[in-house]
Amino acid sequence: MNQERTAIYKRFTILTLSVLFLLSSRLSARENVQIITQNPQQGSMIIGQYKGLGALFFDDRVLLRNRDGYFVFGVGRDAPETVYLTLISAAEVRDIPINIKQRAYKIEKVNGLAANKVNPRTDEEKARIKRESILIREARKHQSQLNHFLDNFIMPSKGRISGVYGSQRILNGEPKNPHFGLDIANKRGTPVLAPADGVVLLTHKDMFFSGGTIVLDHGFGITSSYIHLNSIDITEGEKVKQGQKIATIGSTGRSTGPHLDWRLNWFGQRLDPALLIKKAK
């Protein structure tokens, strides 16, 4: 259904822009699409700018732009070597190739987890996981007009990097899904700070897998998540500023020790927050 709506929107856009083209004597001189993010790689949040009259699409989604023409999208862990933006303007329909650097991922073994945190067994546990997954997915569907995705992000906490994005996880000896966050290990109670301005979309004291959980909105589909928290100092709907204390590190949910698992999303696409912080690479 989403693909059908996108196809209809594309056809409508072509029609509309064709009319605009006929009514105008020439196209805007600012038709070029610029990719601001340098050397994007798998897991990158990619910022671009386009000031023309056309519409941009990526992965069957319309890319909204702010008043200065900035837009954002993301590519996942296994993105191919080339991805394409589609520009539909009065003059043309054009695919714009973007080269994506490929990455090699580590294998990380995590032992000592409670058996039910690796393979939930009871119907009650499975129903709880389903309910909580819906809460997270709904938060990540949110698209606001906030421009905080343009901020220079800072590290949300101090500590040892104990886990990285994309690594294949072996949990209690059993291969599982890759890890999609940046783990920062430190003692329980260590402050967690907002890495950029945002609005609180979700707080939860104790999810089955992620324990204490926060989701922040940074605008245009970019959200960040903070999990395994010991305490939460903010409430849903609250505006937070970069550097503001929002929580403390804990070991709640599926965890073997106190750490912050920091995650970044463009809607449902899981991105690597470490790519926003040079020191975290």
Round to whole Å and give the CA distance between 104 and 131: 34
Mean pLDDT over residues 134-158, rounded?
Answer: 97
* Residue range 107-280 in CATH 2.120.10.30: no
**CATH classification number, 2-99, choose in 2.60.40, 1.10.1760, 2.60.120, 2.50.20:** 2.60.40
pLDDT of residue 31: 60
- Contact at 8 Å (CB) between 281 and 236? no
Q: Determine how many CB atoms are found less than 10 A away from the CB of residue 16.
A: 14
The structure's pTM equals 0.87
Q: Determine how many CB atoms are found less than 10 A away from the CB of residue 223.
A: 27
pLDDT of residue 204: 98
pLDDT of residue 19: 42
User: One fold for both 2-99 and 107-280?
Assistant: no
pLDDT of 14 > 90? The answer is no
Beta bridge partners of 99: 82
- Contact at 8 Å (CB) between 44 and 275? yes
pLDDT of 218 > 80? The answer is yes
Round to whole Å and give the CA distance between 35 and 116: 45
Write out pLDDT tens, residues 172-207. 888 888 999 999 999 999 999 999 999 999 999 999
Task: State the Cα angle at 86 between 84 and 88, rounded to 5°.
Answer: 165
Cα dist. 261→37, 80, 81, 118 in Å? 24, 26, 28, 17
pLDDT of 13 > 60? The answer is no
Backbone angles phi, psi at 238, to 5 degrees: -75, 140
pLDDT of 280 > 90? The answer is no
Q: What are the extents of the domains in the chain?
A: 2-99, 107-280
Q: How many residues does the chain have?
A: 281
Write out pLDDT tens, residues 104-142. 999 988 898 889 888 999 999 999 999 999 999 999 999
pLDDT of 89 > 50? The answer is yes
Round to whole Å and give the CA distance between 2 and 117: 34
Beta bridge partners of 72: 47
Round to whole Å and give the CA distance between 146 and 158: 27
Beta bridge partners of 74: 45
pLDDT of 4 > 90? The answer is no
Long-range contacts of 122-130 (CB under 8 A, 24+ apart): 125/208, 128/208, 129/208, 129/209
Tell me the DSSP string of 81-92: SEEEEEEE-SS-
* Residue that wins the pLDDT comparison between 114 and 148: 148
